[in-house]
Structure 1
Amino acid sequence: MESFIKQHPIHTEITVAWGEMDALQHVNNVIYFKYFESARIDFFTQIGLFNELQITNIGPVLADNNARYKRPITYPDTLLVGVTISDVQTDRFMMNYTVFSQTQQAVTTLGRSLVVMFDFNTGKKSNLSDKVLNALKNYEQQA
């Protein structure tokens, strides 16, 4: 787990809830996207992206979202969802998620979201601000 935390300095701890399991007795596949969302919101908060959104009305929207399931998760468990950034461009970037099960002591799920900056005033795509771009570059890993 220490290695995971070192590789993912920004991570979110999530407690698996009983109600997240499905009839097959493992966490339902759609729940992972909620886990990714929680980690994404934590990341955006930590880098100040929401502060910029309030000032500029320019913020992130998802253009693509996917998951790769490696091992099933069951209740009870506590997960760490690590976030890294790759493919930073002027108006978009890729968020990579790695889900680590503390019970299994293993990575269970990988995910990615393509995030595009959007100007909610004009209804059009927008560029990343220098502040957000610099913050993203601090967490960028080459794919």
Structure 2
Amino acid sequence: MTEKEFLDVFPRASEIKVAWGDMDALQHVNNTMYFKYFEIARIDFFTQAGIFKRLESEKTGPVLADNFAKYLRPVTYPDTLLVGVSVSDIGETGFMTHYSVFSKAQQSLVTVGKAKVVMFDFNNMQKAPLDSTLLDFLHANEKR
């Protein structure tokens, strides 16, 4: 897969520069850093969806129910990563996010991951339904 092909699939991909400190003693990006990269892309994605407006007004927002990564190739400094997000399994109160991490230096997919996201009402401490605006955004970004 080329960078252009990746961006055709994920036009909203987040660009993340690998920092020297992201690497571990084995001189590749530490496995835990990918969850930070997923978070950066997820927050970008949620910002585009307008999800934080509901958090401010209703104290209802996203929480993670689980998180998973599969490492395909090691990444080293210097590199710039593109992290694409798509969704699936859209339900009444949650959905699955999928992450694809592309290395510009390697011109290759290096990591994939997923996380279950649930909308949560922090006032009542319970799951909350997805609103229609968010549902429309999620369906437009559904994994194919």
SS in structure 2 at match of 1:39: helix
For structure 2, list consecutive stretches of 5 or more residues without a partner in the other structure: none
The 5 A counterparts of 1:119-134 are 119-134=121-136
Q: Please, which of 52, 55, 62 is the counterpart of residue 54 of structure 2?
A: 52
Opposite residue 99 of structure 1, the aligned amino acid is V
TM-score by length of 2: 0.97
Moved over 6 A (4+): none
SS in structure 1 at match of 2:27: coil
SS in structure 2 at match of 1:127: coil
Tell me the residue number matched to 2:93: 91
Aligned residues: 142
CA distance, structure 1, for counterparts of residue 99 and residue 143 of structure 2: 12
CA distance, structure 2, for counterparts of residue 42 and residue 13 of structure 1: 10
CA distance, structure 2, for counterparts of residue 122 and residue 23 of structure 1: 44
CA distance, structure 2, for counterparts of residue 63 and residue 9 of structure 1: 26
Q: Percent identity?
A: 56
For structure 1, list consecutive stretches of 5 or more residues without a partner in the other structure: none
How far has the Cα of 1:141 moved from its partner? 1.7
SS in structure 2 at match of 1:54: helix
CA distance, structure 2, for counterparts of residue 27 and residue 21 of structure 1: 4
CA deviation map 1:106-139 (0-9, x unaligned) = 0000000100010000000111011111111110
CA distance, structure 1, for counterparts of residue 96 and residue 34 of structure 2: 17
Q: Does 1:7 align with 2:15?
A: no
TM-score by length of 1: 0.97
CA deviation map 1:57-113 (0-9, x unaligned) = 111000000100000000000000000111111101010000000000000000001
Tell me the residue number matched to 1:114: 116
CA distance, structure 2, for counterparts of residue 40 and residue 87 of structure 1: 16
The 5 A counterparts of 1:54-93 are 54-93=56-95
